[in-house]
Amino acid sequence: SYFLSGGINLEHAAAISKIEDSRLYALDINSRFEIEAGVKDVHKIGEFMIAIE
């Protein structure tokens, strides 16, 4: 299993949704989805979740 990380943002959703590797366990969407340090933008995260389904 592995986590996919490294600057992931909404623009990567289409490519990520095409990944068919069963070892992919989680996505690290950290700072690119923050309004300010430590504060997540729940709307942006929601858009991302819909886009990768």
What does the DSSP assignment read for 10-47?
GGGHHHHHT---TTEEEE--TGGGEEETTEE-HHHHHH
Give me the residues paired with residue 2 across strands: 24
Q: What is the pLDDT of residue 31?
A: 92
Q: 13, 36 in Cβ contact below 8 A?
A: no
Q: What is the pLDDT of residue 33?
A: 96
Q: Each residue of 1-53: pLDDT tens digit?
A: 999 999 999 999 999 999 999 999 999 999 999 999 999 999 999 999 999 99
Q: 16, 39 in Cβ contact below 8 A?
A: no
Kindly give, in sequence order, each residue whose CB lies less than 8 Å from that of residue 47, ignoring residues fewer than 6 positions away.
10
Q: Where are the domains of the chain?
A: 2-52
Q: What is the DSSP letter of 4?
A: E
The pTM score is 0.85
Q: What is the pLDDT of residue 3?
A: 97
